[in-house]
Structure 1
Amino acid sequence: MSEGITGTDVLFVLLGAILVFTMHAGFAFLEVGTVRRKNQVNALVKIIADFGISTISYFFVGYAVAYGVDFLVSAAVLSGEADAEGYAFSSNGYDLVKFFFLLTFAAAIPAIISGGIAERAKFWPQLIATAILTALVYPFFEGLIWNGNLGLQTYIEEIFGVGFHDFAGSIVVHAVGGWIALGAILHLGAREGRYTKDGRVNGIPPSNIPFLALGSWILCIGWFGFNVMSAQTIGGISGLVAMNSLMAMVGGIIAALFVGKNDPGFVHNGALAGLVAVCAGSDIMHPIGALLTGGVAGALFVVAFTYCQNILKIDDVLGVWPLHGLCGLWGGIAAGIFGLESLGGLGGVSFMAQLTVSLLGCVYALIAGFLVYGLLKMVSGIRLSEEDEFIGADLSIHKIGAYPEQDLR
């Protein structure tokens, strides 16, 4: 590590980790407000249990896969107070808070998937999937892009003149999570009663709009840690990232407001769509470019969610494939458009590099999702029984509902 690492950098990254950790409460309440009352407890338990499993998997395996670093040395070495052959941890425990920060990104993968498979997925097979995804699948791709593993970035630079740019994870986190989720959703199938035999769609409205809105607000607030603090040092912080995140969020809100015809679910998810899309190029776009990126993402989410549910008959409960998968893909590509100097950006990007790697990342994630959930489906099954699904995941899995006093009446 650089000798310039200071206690201020440690605090900076720690605060970023805390903000992104807070986003997991946003994931939880977004799901709680969207699913039916009989599945609200399950949503809360899934998100926090997934975070626990993700931490163990990423600590013992995933971080080493991505960055070649493990923590199986003394605390003196980890804190930088002592040296050990083959280890070079910086002073003040900077590497430890960096792990915490990047862990919150890794744990976002199962949190994203949770919303798509809600209301009919078995609990323990999902935790097994979380362990596999955060130990191997996500870290492998993370290392390719953010650590230069296997020379992929060098190869891309040789072909296109510059490497692939993903400052805060439109592709690495969001698109990967969204496309893995699509594989899981297709294996699970639709919820009972969602679609009739004659092709009609039975609407299942959100159970609690205030909870849904709260989830969106928490995610929006935490996202400024997700994006701005991806600089990982106080010296690298940029107000441009904060401004671009703000503009993209607003663009997503306004586009979803009009295209979604005032629907509160679309409006609150439109903010998230804009933030998903701007992650990749938030450090290089002009604010107007970020506004347009977010606006396209907000409209894309509304159109894709509606098409996915009503035409393709894919029962993605929270719309995580349109929101994270498609808007993340758009964000990776948009960095290669609005990041160009000719469009007011800082440059250093290639449209073809962005398009190529963004598509490759989505294909990788979709295949991984099919394989992981397909294997679990064969070994243990991944879907609740028809009876348990009818009762609801709260009572069938956790033996208590979100409103136990009302259940006793």
Structure 2
Amino acid sequence: MNEGANVFFVLLGAILVFAMHGGFAFLEVGSVRHKNQVNALVKILVDFALSTLAYFIIGYTIAYGTTFLASAATLSGENGGGFELQGLTLVKFFFLTTFAAAIPAIVSGGIAERMKFVPQCLATLALVGLAYPFFEGIVWNGNFGFQGWLEAAFGAPFHDFAGSVVVHAVGGWIALGAVLHLGARLGRYTADGRAIGIPPSSLPWLALGSWLLCVGWFGFNVMTAGSLEAISGLVALNSLMAMVGGILVALVVGRNDPGFVHNGALAGLVAVCAGSDVMHPLGSLLVGGVAGAIFVKGFEWCQLKLKVDDVLGVWPLHGICGAWGGIAAGVFGLETMGGIGGVSFASQVIGTFAGVVFAFAAGYLVYGVLKAIQGIRLSPEEERRGADLSIHKIGASPEHDIGR
């Protein structure tokens, strides 16, 4: 009975996080220009499919040492072999696959409107099959002794309950490497470096994407427990409070800008993942609020000062806010700050820094190799036409395009 209940519990979490990929898609659909909306939808769906194959064939084995090259009876747990009863191991794989597939979904928002399709598919295979599970295994499976070393040296391993660093910071810093190789969209900056605004195509679609992500995030965080026995209402409340903090601070700091408000909710949720199981709700509110401010100021700094054309701001949203969440867990998770304890500030800083360096290096290497081998950017003519017609041969409103 317990196995069946846990299978259903983890499966429900996997479905909720799978639904978040629809949120990634519509957040991008609403943020890009109309001529790139179809590409956004297709990219996210195809990236998920490729991520599943790459993670099933090799990625999960790298991270956890488990291979699925066994009989169906063994996989379902009937014959032992290290697989849990009633396919619990299999739904855990499904759940973790939705996390792994978030890496290319995050990257997609940064490279939008000018990335070639096939190179992005190849990047997804490399990132989800090799790069991401390598770091995932280090943090969540204790591979290579890194966590053991931190615990011996600083009293606690690196704590990242639901992936502020393992998923979000890694995805955001990979995206930065990709964006730097791609360069800015045509017309984004003038010859003298002045930024030219490119407005989003649809705020309602953008808002829908944010809502889908917010709802699914409670599966992302809460169901990370992995079983009904380990579930914690504290994780749910902390997620809620961080989301609220991100919304309200982004509203104020972003001067009522709807894009900042809806992404502020996501910034708070990104930041709370790491310590959502150990922080006090008021600490989570503060962590989420700081993340909301980080996103707004980080987006402006990235776009206006650094001239890095990260279309959806995935580097500040996931990369920087994720890193903030990793470090914040080492502060607000402490008993002296109202938390449960069991965390070390030094371990959080080192673990976060390791994730950032690894992710940026991986992203810069993968996209750099693809750029050298076959090119990664659409031609100027294709970019002006839009990724929809240039890649998929159809726009978001086909009937309108043919004048009927």
TM-score where L is the length of structure 2: 0.99
Measured against aligned partners, the alpha-carbon deviations of 1:276-298 in whole angstroms (never above 9, x if no partner) come to 00000000000000000000000
Q: Provide the rounded CA distance (Å) in 2 between the counterparts of 1:127 and 1:246.
A: 34
Which of 379, 388, 396 is matched with 1:394 structurally? Answer: 388
- Would you say 1:60 and 2:60 are equivalent positions? no
Which of 323, 326, 330 is matched with 2:324 structurally? Answer: 330
- Would you say 1:43 and 2:40 are equivalent positions? yes
* Equivalent residue runs for 1:141-290 within 5 Å: 141-290=135-284
- SS for the counterpart of 2:43 is helix
Give the letter aligned to residue 56 of structure 2.
F
User: Residue in 1 aligned with 2:20?
Assistant: 23
Of all paired residues, the percent bearing the same amino acid is 70
Mark the runs of 5 or more structure 2 residues left unpaired by the alignment.
none
Measured against aligned partners, the alpha-carbon deviations of 1:189-210 in whole angstroms (never above 9, x if no partner) come to 0000100001111100110000
Give the letter aligned to residue 6 of structure 2.
D
- Would you say 1:354 and 2:348 are equivalent positions? yes
Q: Provide the rounded CA distance (Å) in 2 between the counterparts of 1:396 and 1:5.
A: 52
Measured against aligned partners, the alpha-carbon deviations of 1:308-329 in whole angstroms (never above 9, x if no partner) come to 0001000000000000000000
User: Residue in 2 aligned with 1:10?
Assistant: 7
Give the letter aligned to residue 261 of structure 1.
R
Indicate the RMSD between aligned Cα atoms, in angstroms: 0.7
Which of 65, 68, 75 is matched with 1:71 structurally? Answer: 68
Give the letter aligned to residue 41 of structure 1.
V
8 A Cα contact 1:110 1:130, kept in partner: yes
Give the letter aligned to residue 46 of structure 2.
A
Q: Provide the rounded CA distance (Å) in 2 between the counterparts of 1:71 and 1:301.
A: 40
Q: Provide the rounded CA distance (Å) in 1 between the counterparts of 2:193 and 2:75.
A: 58
Q: Provide the rounded CA distance (Å) in 1 between the counterparts of 2:351 and 2:387.
A: 38
TM-score where L is the length of structure 1: 0.98
- Would you say 1:369 and 2:363 are equivalent positions? yes
Give the letter aligned to residue 165 of structure 1.
H
Q: Provide the rounded CA distance (Å) in 1 between the counterparts of 2:127 and 2:360.
A: 12
Mark the runs of 5 or more structure 1 residues left unpaired by the alignment.
none
8 A Cα contact 1:5 1:94, kept in partner: no
Q: Provide the rounded CA distance (Å) in 1 between the counterparts of 2:117 and 2:370.
A: 12
* Equivalent residue runs for 1:42-121 within 5 Å: 42-83=39-80, 87-121=81-115
Measured against aligned partners, the alpha-carbon deviations of 1:114-162 in whole angstroms (never above 9, x if no partner) come to 0000000000000000000000000000000000001110011111011
Q: Provide the rounded CA distance (Å) in 1 between the counterparts of 2:354 and 2:86.
A: 38
Give the letter aligned to residue 315 of structure 1.
D
Q: Provide the rounded CA distance (Å) in 2 between the counterparts of 1:368 and 1:183.
A: 8
- SS for the counterpart of 1:19 is helix
Q: Provide the rounded CA distance (Å) in 1 between the counterparts of 2:113 and 2:42.
A: 13
Equivalenced residue count is 403
Per-residue deviation, 1:169: 0.1
8 A Cα contact 1:179 1:366, kept in partner: yes
Give the letter aligned to residue 56 of structure 1.
L
Give the letter aligned to residue 44 of structure 2.
I
Per-residue deviation, 1:79: 0.5
Q: Provide the rounded CA distance (Å) in 2 between the counterparts of 1:5 and 1:356.
A: 38
- SS for the counterpart of 1:56 is helix
Q: Provide the rounded CA distance (Å) in 1 between the counterparts of 2:391 and 2:74.
A: 43
8 A Cα contact 1:125 1:382, kept in partner: yes
Give the letter aligned to residue 317 of structure 2.
L
Per-residue deviation, 1:405: 1.3
Per-residue deviation, 1:400: 0.2
Q: Provide the rounded CA distance (Å) in 2 between the counterparts of 1:317 and 1:252.
A: 20
Q: Provide the rounded CA distance (Å) in 1 between the counterparts of 2:356 and 2:194.
A: 30
Q: Provide the rounded CA distance (Å) in 1 between the counterparts of 2:153 and 2:110.
A: 36
Per-residue deviation, 1:365: 0.3
Q: Moved runs in structure 1, 4+ residues, more than 4 A?
A: none
8 A Cα contact 1:113 1:180, kept in partner: yes
Q: Provide the rounded CA distance (Å) in 1 between the counterparts of 2:289 and 2:141.
A: 31
8 A Cα contact 1:5 1:91, kept in partner: no
User: Residue in 2 aligned with 1:339?
Assistant: 333
Q: Provide the rounded CA distance (Å) in 1 between the counterparts of 2:212 and 2:132.
A: 24
Per-residue deviation, 1:5: 5.3
Per-residue deviation, 1:81: 1.2
Give the letter aligned to residue 14 of structure 1.
L
